Chain A
Amino acid sequence: MEDRALGGDATRRGFVNWMLGTSVGAFLISVLYPVARYLVPPMVGESTAASVTLPIKPGDVKPNTGQIFKFGSRPAILVRTSAGDLKALSAVCTHLNCTVQYRPDLSHIWCACHNGHFDLNGQNISGPPPRPLDAFVVNVRGNQIVVSKST
Chain B
Amino acid sequence: MSTTTPDSVHGKLWSWLDQRIGLADLEKLARKKQVPVHGHGVWYYLGGMTLFLFIVQVVTGTLLLFYYRPSAEEAYESVQFLMAEVEFGWLIRSIHAWSANLMIFALFIHLFSVLLLKAYRPPREVTWFSGVGLLAIALGFGFTGYLLPWNELAYFATKVGTEITGAVPLVGRFLLRLLRGGDEVTGATLTRFYGIHVAVLPGLVMLVLGLHLYLVQKHGMSVPLPVERQGDRRTMPFVPNFLLRDIVGWLSALAILAALAAFIPAELGRKADPFAPAPVGIKPEWYFMFMFQTLKYLPSHILGLEGEIVGMVGFGLGGLFLLLIPFLDRRAARGQPSPLFTWIGIFVIVYIVVLTYLGYAASPTR
Contacts and interface: CB of A to CB of B under 8 A. Distances in A.
A41 B178 contact: yes
Contact of B300 (A46, A73, A98, A124): A124
B277 A40 contact: no
A131 to B, nearest CB: 8
Given A128-B298, A128-B308, A130-B307, A111 B278 contact: yes
Interface string A45-71: 010000000000000000000001110
B178 A112 contact: no
Interface string B181-206: 11110001000000000000000000
Given A112-B282, A128-B300, A97 B277 contact: no
A144 interface: no
A128 B295 contact: yes
B159 A97 contact: yes
Given A98-B160, A128-B308, A130-B301, A114 B277 contact: no
B196 to A, nearest CB: 11
Contact of B279 (A68, A103, A112, A130): A112
B308 to A, nearest CB: 6
Given A68-B277, A128-B300, A130-B306, A114 B159 contact: no
Contacts of A75: 274-275
B231 interface: no
B300 A96 contact: no
Interface residues of B, number: 36
Interface string B151-187: 0000010011001100000000010011011111000
A122 interface: no
B280 interface: yes
A95 interface: yes
Given A112-B364, A124-B300, A68 B160 contact: no
Nearest to A94: B300
B274 A98 contact: no
B299 interface: yes
Contacts of A101: 277-278
Contact of B276 (A46, A68, A129): A68
Contact of B278 (A40, A41, A98): A98
Contacts of A69: 275
Interface string B280-311: 11100000000010011011110000111000
A98 B306 CA distance: 17
Interface in B246-297: 274-282, 292, 295-296
B366 interface: yes
Nearest to A114: B296
A115 interface: yes
Among A44, A70, A124, A130, max chain B CB count under 10 A is at A130
B282 A113 contact: yes
A78 interface: no
A129 B301 CA distance: 9
A130 B295 CA distance: 13
Interface string A88-102: 000101011111110
Among A99, A100, A101, A115, max chain B CB count under 10 A is at A99
Nearest to A67: B277
Contacts of B300: 95, 124, 127-130
A39 interface: yes
B278 A99 contact: yes
Nearest to A106: B365
A96 B364 contact: no
Given A93-B278, A98-B282, A129-B300, 6 more contacts: A75-B275, A96-B160, A98-B156, A100-B277, A128-B298, A128-B300
> Which 10 interchain pairs have the tightest Cβ spacing?
A101-B277, A98-B278, A97-B163, A96-B163, A112-B278, A130-B300, A96-B160, A41-B181, A130-B306, A114-B296
Interface of A: 39-41, 44, 46, 68-70, 73-75, 77, 91, 93, 95-101, 103, 111-115, 124, 127-130
